[in-house]
C-alpha cells in the first residue's frame, strides 16, 4: 500500500478520496467514533443540506470505495516504523496520514453531557443560524473566563438575547463593559444543572433559552503522533501547509493539525495535504527522498 489514513471522519475520508483519485493504493482505518457523532445535523457544509453526521460519513465511504480505497473498521493504537516506511495494523505502507481528530472536554455541570449535540452545542458558526434571534445561554468553562467572554461576544451576533453564565468565575470591569456594549447579560453564580435546555442556577432561578452554547477544551483523540515522534504544540500536531509533520512520511490533517477548523475546513485541509502526499510519493517514485 502507498498510504494509510488513520481516522475516517470528514478529514480522513477527504484525504482518502483525493489520494484514491490520484490512483494511490490507500487503506483507511476508522474506529467509528467521530467527534461529531452526538450531533443531530452537520450545518454550514456547502452542498450538504444539514445531513446527520452518519449520513454524510456513509456517503463519503461509498464515494471513496469507488476509487479502490480499502476501508477497515478498526482502531489503530500503534504504528511500527521500518526501513521501508511504516506498518499499520499489519499493513506495510510508505506514508501515514493522521486524521484522528479531537475530543471535547465539556464544562463540569450536571446535564451538559446528556444534552451534548442536541440542546447543548459549542460552535455558533455551526449552530447559530438555526437559533438566530432566540434567547440563548452561553455557559462558560470554569477557570477560563477570557474564553467564556469571547464566546459570548461572538454569540451575540446571532441573537440580541444572550446570557453569559460564568459558573462562578468573576469578570473584570473591562470584560463587563465589553459584554454590556454587545448587549450580553451576565450571571456569575454557579450553575446547578442544565436540562433540555433549561439552565438552573444555584439560587434555584431557571433560565429557559432555545439552546445552550458551551465553551469546551479540546484534546487530541490519539497519541499516535507523539509516539511516532511528531512535534505537538498547544494541543495540535505541528505540520506545514501540506500537512507534513516533523517526521518524514507522516502527515496530519484536519483538526489533528488545526483544531479551530470547521467541518468543511477540515475536509479542505485534508484535500490540500493529500495532494502534498501524492507529490511527495511521486518524488520517491522518481528516486528522490523525503
* The pLDDT value given to residue 182: 98
User: Within 13 Å of residue 200, how many CA atoms lie on the same side as its CB?
Assistant: 10
Residue 48 lies in a domain: yes
Whether the model clears a pTM of 0.85, i.e. scores above it, the answer is yes
* The pLDDT value given to residue 13: 98
* Same domain for 201 and 222: no
- The four Cα atoms 264, 268, 270, 276 give a dihedral, to 10 degrees, of 180
* Same domain for 223 and 208: no
Q: How many whole angstroms separate alpha carbon 184 and alpha carbon 157?
A: 10
* The pLDDT value given to residue 204: 94
Angle between helices 263-285 and 10-21 (to 10 degrees): 40
* The pLDDT value given to residue 197: 82
Among residues 214, 243, 265, the one where a domain terminates is 214
Mean pLDDT, consecutive 10-residue stretches, the chain (290 aa), reads 97 98 98 90 92 94 97 95 94 98 96 95 96 98 97 98 98 98 98 93 96 96 96 95 97 97 97 98 91
CATH number for the domain spanning 100: value is 3.50.50.60
Residue 290 lies in a domain: no
241-286 pLDDT, tens digit each: 999 999 999 999 999 999 999 999 999 999 999 999 999 999 999 9
* The pLDDT value given to residue 289: 82
Domains: count for the chain: 2
b/e map of 134-146 (b: 16 or more CB within 10 Å)?
A: eebbbbbbbebbe
Residue 184, domain extent: 107-214
Residue 80 lies in a domain: yes
* The pLDDT value given to residue 288: 85
* The pLDDT value given to residue 161: 98
Amino acid at each position: 500500500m502507498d498510504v494509510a489514513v488513520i481516522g475516517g471522519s470528514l478529514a480522513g475520508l477527504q484525504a482518502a478520496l483525493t489520494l484514491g483519485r490520484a490512483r494511490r493504493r490507500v487503506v483507511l482505518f476508522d474506529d467509528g467514533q467521530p467527534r461529531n457523532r452526538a450531533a443531530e445535523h452537520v450545518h454550514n457544509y456547502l452542498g450538504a443540506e444539514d445531513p446527520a453526521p452518519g449520513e454524510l460519513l456513509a456517503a463519503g465511504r461509498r464515494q471513496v470505495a469507488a476509487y479502490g480505497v480499502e476501508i477497515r473498521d478498526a482502531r489503530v493504537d500503534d504504528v511500527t516504523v521500518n526501513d521501508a516506511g511504516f506498518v499499520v495494523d499489519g499493513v506495510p505502507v510508505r506514508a501515514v496520514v493522521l486524521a484522528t481528530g479531537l475530543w471535547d472536554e465539556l464544562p463540569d455541570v450536571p446535564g451538559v453531557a446528556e444534552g451534548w449535540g442536541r440542546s447543548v452545542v459549542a460552535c455558533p458558526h455551526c449552530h447559530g443560524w438555526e437559533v438566530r434571534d432566540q434567547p440563548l445561554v452561553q455557559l462558560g468553562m470554569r477557570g477560563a473566563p477570557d474564553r467564556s467572554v469571547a464566546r459570548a461576544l461572538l454569540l451575540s451576533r446571532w441573537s440580541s438575547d444572550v446570557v453569559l453564565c460564568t459558573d462562578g468565575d468573576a469578570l473584570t470591569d473591562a470584560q463587563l463593559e465589553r459584554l454590556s456594549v454587545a448587549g450580553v447579560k451576565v450571571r456569575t453564580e454557579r450553575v446547578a444543572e442544565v436540562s433540555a435546555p433549561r439552565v438552573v442556577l444555584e439560587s434555584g432561578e431557571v433560565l429557559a433559552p432555545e439552546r445552550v452554547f458551551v465553551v469546551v477544551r479540546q484534546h487530541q483523540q490519539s497519541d499516535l503522533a507523539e509516539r511516532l515522534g511528531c512535534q505537538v504544540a498547544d494541543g495540535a500536531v505541528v505540520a506545514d501547509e501540506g500537512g507534513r509533520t516533523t517526521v518524514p512520511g507522516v502527515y496530519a490533517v484536519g483538526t489533528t493539525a488545526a483544531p479551530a477548523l470547521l467541518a468543511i475546513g477540515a475536509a479542505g485541509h485534508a484535500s490540500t495535504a493529500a495532494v502534498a502526499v501524492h507529490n511527495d510519493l511521486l518524488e520517491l517514485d522518481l528516486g528522490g527522498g523525503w
